[in-house]
Amino acid sequence: MGQCVTKCKNPSSTLGSKNGDRESSSKSHSKRSVVHKEEHTSVCAKSSGDILVNGTKKTDTALDPNQPPTFSGDAKKEPVSGTEESSIQRIEELFRRYKDEREDAILEEGMERFCNDLCVDPTEFKVLVLAWKFQAATMCKFTRKEFFEGCKAINADSIGGICSRFPSLLNEAKQEDKFKDLYRFTFQFGLDSEEGQRSLHREIAIALWKLVFTQNKPPILDQWLNFLTENPSGIKGISRDTWNMFLNFTQVIGPDLSNYSEDEAWPSLFDTFVEWEMERRKKEEETKCVTCSDTEGLCIEEQT
């Protein structure tokens, strides 16, 4: 992705029913390597001359506007202006800087260098947002089309230009409708398309929930992730329905869970979670009461 979360390659499990999201059988899985950020010199503070602003930037190189650019696999292009052509050429040069030697795409190694040059960690929220704007289909990979269309979408054709767009992209991700789109994108992004997955492995889902809620963490998130981590119900995978409905759950159900009803059309896993969380809170309260009683007893003894 750019967002190289450690990814388990596991077959998708049977999900969506009352018995959905449960452990059915033990299967082996391998994990993708986590791409670590290396020490590097910051290059984000480039001159504004590298940034395309609404097509008004003075080009660095004079190009023949009558000769449209051609890229492998591209459909027939409409004639473009010299400024647009120059920008496309810069995107092409940027793409080639990171693309794989054997495949016409930026893969894990190139993605690591790309993130280093952007001064971001591959596992941080900014990279997820960038992958969203690029509509990347796979973690740790940008195809040629995704990279070109993504750069055009954010109006940037250089490392400095992409860096300068991060603040506005993060603000955009705070908008309710945009965040919903980002949230739903994140589920699809986390799937292993090569394995034909239809559900997220539990560990991947936990990592992605932490990531996607970076800017607007719901009060119930920690309890939900603790529930998944302790895995009391043998949860193996998270279905698309469960993922999507959890956003609704955070918006409708209060932190005290008092307005939750099993009669409503929530995924069965939510019923299990609410029951587990209420029992946990009850035990916690009982422990506090016992501790308080013991403390009061000691205070009475000391007074006598």
Q: How far apart are CA 114 and CA 98, in angstroms?
A: 7
| CATH number of the structural domain 176-292 | 1.10.238.200
- Domains of the chain, residue spans: 83-173, 176-292
Structure tokens at 31: 């994990």
pLDDT tens for the chain, 304 residues: list them. Answer: 544 554 434 433 333 333 445 444 444 343 333 333 333 434 444 433 343 333 334 334 333 434 444 444 444 445 556 788 899 999 999 999 999 999 999 999 999 999 999 999 999 999 999 999 999 999 999 999 999 999 999 999 999 999 999 999 999 999 999 999 999 999 999 998 777 889 999 999 999 999 999 999 999 999 999 999 998 778 889 999 999 999 999 999 999 999 999 889 999 999 999 999 999 999 988 888 777 666 665 555 555 5
Counts for the chain of helices (H) and strands (E), in that order: 10, 6
SS3 helix, strand, coil % of the chain, rounded to 5?
A: 50, 5, 45
Equal fold, 83-173 vs 176-292: yes
Q: CATH second-level architecture of 83-173?
A: Orthogonal Bundle (1.10)
List the Cα angle 153/169/98 in 5-degree steps.
60
